[in-house]
Amino acid sequence: MLVSAVCFWEAAIKSALGKLRVPDDLPERLDEFAFERLPVTDVHAWAVRALPPVHNDPFDRLLVAQAVCERATIVSADAVFDAYDVTRIW
């Protein structure tokens, strides 16, 4: 299972704003599991430009671009991902 750097980025921002409580050692805690880290690459960032203008959340759009580039499935409860050409499970 891949965990995108985008997820850490968004969690860090929301945590700093007081909108999300996460452990201070979240990245280290994921080391306990068999999660593979997925960095954001220039290819992922550039792929965002080809996405339809479904919505404007930059985190979600980058996750979609990564899923397209890596041929990965998105795990999320957010149905907005269904509007893109990616597979989503929850």
**Per-residue pLDDT, 59:** 95
**Per-residue pLDDT, 5:** 96
**Per-residue pLDDT, 46:** 98
User: Per residue of the chain (90 residues), what is the pLDDT tens digit?
Assistant: 899 999 999 999 999 999 999 999 999 888 888 889 999 999 999 999 999 999 889 999 999 999 999 999 999 999 999 999 999 999
Mapped onto helix, strand or coil, the DSSP state of residue 59 is: helix
Q: Is 3.40.50.1010 the CATH classification of the domain at 2-89?
A: yes
Asked if 53 and 80 touch (Cβ cutoff 8 Å), the reply is: no
CA nearest neighbour of 30 among 5, 7, 62, 3: 3
**Cβ density class 21-30: b for 16+ within 10 Å, e for less:** eeeeeeeeee
Task: Write down the pTM of the prediction.
Answer: 0.90
Asked if 84 and 64 touch (Cβ cutoff 8 Å), the reply is: yes
